[in-house]
């Protein structure tokens, strides 16, 4: 572990030295300057202190043989064999990364009675699907699923593991990363790769105020989770050449302290992530009742209502409809933002939309930087005008025609 060494004989003025640390990590004990637990390793003392007073000493990093790790693997998210769409999006990104380093693309598929569910994966250009099909893996339980994927990683040694940023992915990925003593970057928005197979993982940090660029150069595999709708699913390939490999694991490793007594199927509803048209409301609306005009616009377009974080906190919009880093990521054909300023946190959740119409009375609003069409004005004037225009056209053309014209 890295550390900072204090050379006491180089200190002439203790009071002056103590003021170097912005975190108060330097203190005087028995006439000596000591570093306490508040140290953030910012190295300000090394840079600003008297020459030679503070020295930063970093442990020698143990190099790994990166050639031993090959392939980019996507964990197949599924429910009773029905594959989650985020899996195909990750396959598309995996193929893009793998092409740059000439590595194969793998999938690891864990469950029960899933052997005949692998063909769709191969049709998206996967080189090999590794299947763990066992009755002990019938329903997702963290211990046996972790054991199966751990067994796969130990045998195949992929350089990168990609998981969907779902409830299951967020449970499985950190447990596996801990077992292999490697890094995990959650909710990545950008992935790229270097020639030496180091994965460039970029995600918003500190509330979206900065974009953190993360590498794991001395450990393998490299783990990352990615939300649904961040990347695009690839086109299917003609005459796929991938193969399916059935894997075995000892039964005793699939034991679990969790027993599934019953499962209940949730009523299927179209989530905001799957909506083709979204109308977004913000605190530009003066009161909750005023959102009705946005709802009327949404009804005319067959759209769903989404909200910014302030509208969720105010109780105006269902929390499941929040768009942004702390909410959902959407990629509709059309999105209309009503009074949204365009904070980084919000834009990260919708910038992949096919067509963005932004309404805001501030012509310098950041939302206009990503919008395809800017409507500068008061939402209380523009939204009723849009509603009137659509209602006047509704008798002469279909909703699809209206969307096309929009």
3-class DSSP state of 353: coil
**Do residues 279 and 294 make contact, with C-beta atoms less than 8 angstroms apart?**
yes
Q: Are residues 19 and 80 in the same domain?
A: no
Cα gap 386→384, rounded to integer Å: 5
**Do residues 260 and 197 make contact, with C-beta atoms less than 8 angstroms apart?**
no
Q: Are residues 249 and 303 in the same domain?
A: no
Q: Is residue 142 part of a domain?
A: yes
- Percent of the chain with pLDDT strictly greater than 70: 95
Cα gap 95→150, rounded to integer Å: 23
CA proximity to 379, closest of 358, 406, 355, 393:
358
Give the pLDDT confidence score for residue 396 in this predicted structure: 63
Q: Are residues 31 and 152 in the same domain?
A: no
Q: Is residue 166 part of a domain?
A: yes
Q: Is residue 150 part of a domain?
A: yes
**Do residues 387 and 292 make contact, with C-beta atoms less than 8 angstroms apart?**
no
- Percent of the chain with pLDDT strictly greater than 90: 73
Q: Are residues 245 and 278 in the same domain?
A: no
Q: Are residues 208 and 311 in the same domain?
A: no
Cα gap 342→365, rounded to integer Å: 7
Give the pLDDT confidence score for residue 403 in this predicted structure: 58
Domain containing 161 — which CATH number? Answer: 3.40.50.620
pTM of the model: 0.78
Q: Are residues 182 and 86 in the same domain?
A: yes
Domain containing 371 — which CATH number? Answer: 3.40.50.1220
Give the pLDDT confidence score for residue 247 in this predicted structure: 96
Q: Is residue 239 part of a domain?
A: yes
End of a domain among 226, 253, 280? 253
Arithmetic mean of pLDDT over the chain: 91
Q: How many domains would you assign to the chain? A: 3
Cα gap 106→94, rounded to integer Å: 9
Task: List, for the chain, all residue ranges whose pLDDT scores fall below the cut of 70.
Answer: 1, 206-209, 268-269, 395-406
Full domain range(s) for residue 52: 3-57
3-class DSSP state of 219: coil
Give the pLDDT confidence score for residue 393 in this predicted structure: 83
Give the pLDDT confidence score for residue 146 in this predicted structure: 97
Give the pLDDT confidence score for residue 144 in this predicted structure: 96
Q: Are residues 320 and 229 in the same domain?
A: no
> Before 221, cis peptide (omega within 30)?
yes
* Alpha carbon distances (Å) from 332 to 25, 233, 278, 368: 49, 14, 7, 18
Q: Are residues 29 and 110 in the same domain?
A: no
Q: Are residues 49 and 114 in the same domain?
A: no
- Burial of 342 from C-beta contacts in 10 A (0-12 / 13-18 / 19+): buried
Kindly give the pairing relationship between strand 334-338 and strand 210-214.
unpaired
End of a domain among 208, 224, 253? 253
Question: According to the 3-state scheme, what is the secondary structure of 235-261?
Answer: CCCCCCCCEEEECCCCHHHHCCCCCCC
Give the pLDDT confidence score for residue 1 in this predicted structure: 63
Q: Are residues 159 and 240 in the same domain?
A: yes
Give the pLDDT confidence score for residue 33 in this predicted structure: 93
Q: Are residues 78 and 27 in the same domain?
A: no
CA proximity to 245, closest of 47, 48, 104:
104
Give the pLDDT confidence score for residue 310 in this predicted structure: 92
């Amino acid at each position: 572990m890295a550390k900072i060494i204090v050379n006491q004989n180089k200190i002439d003025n203790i009071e002056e030295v103590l003021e170097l640390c912005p975190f108060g990590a330097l203190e005087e004990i028995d006439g000596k300057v000591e570093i306490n637990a508040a140290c953030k390793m910012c190295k300000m003392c090394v840079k600003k202190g008297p020459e030679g007073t503070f020295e930063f000493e970093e442990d020698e990093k143990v190099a790994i043989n990166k050639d031993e790790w090959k392939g980019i693997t996507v964990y197949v998210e599924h429910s009773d064999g029905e594959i989650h769409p985020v899996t195909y999006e990750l396959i598309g990104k995996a193929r893009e990364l793998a092409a740059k380093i000439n590595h194969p693309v793998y999938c690891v598929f864990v469950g029960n009675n899933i052997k005949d569910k692998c063909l769709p994966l191969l049709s998206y250009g996967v080189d090999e699907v590794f299947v763990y099909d066992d009755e002990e893996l019938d329903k997702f339980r963290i211990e046996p699923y972790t054991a199966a994927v751990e067994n796969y990683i130990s045998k195949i040694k992929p350089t990168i593991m990609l998981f969907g940023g779902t409830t299951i992915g967020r449970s499985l990925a950190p447990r596996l990363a801990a077992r292999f003593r490697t890094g995990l970057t959650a909710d990545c928005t950008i992935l790229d790769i270097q020639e030496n197979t180091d994965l460039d993982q970029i995600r918003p940090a500190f509330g979206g105020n900065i974009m953190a660029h993360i590498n794991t150069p001395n450990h393998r595999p490299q783990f990352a989770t990615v939300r649904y709708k961040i990347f695009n699913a690839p086109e299917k390939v003609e005459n796929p050449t991938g193969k399916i490999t059935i894997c075995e694991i000892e039964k005793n490793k699939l034991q679990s302290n969790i027993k599934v007594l019953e499962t209940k199927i949730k009523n299927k509803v179209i989530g905001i992530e799957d909506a083709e048209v979204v109308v977004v409301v913000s605190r530009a609306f003066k009161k909750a009742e005023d959102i009705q005009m946005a709802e009327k616009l949404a009804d005319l377009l067959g759209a769903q209502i989404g909200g910014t974080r302030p509208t969720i906190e105010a109780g105006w919009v269902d929390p499941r409809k929040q768009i942004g880093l702390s909410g959902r990521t959407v990629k509709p054909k059309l999105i209309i933002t009503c009074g949204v300023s365009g904070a980084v946190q919000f834009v990260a959740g919708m910038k992949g939309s096919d067509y963005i119409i932004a309404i805001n009375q501030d012509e310098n609003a950041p939302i206009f930087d990503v919008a395809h069409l800017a409507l500068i004005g008061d939402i209380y004037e523009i939204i009723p005008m849009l509603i009137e225009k659509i209602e006047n056209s509704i008798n002469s053309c279909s909703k699809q025609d209206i969307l096309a014209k929009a």
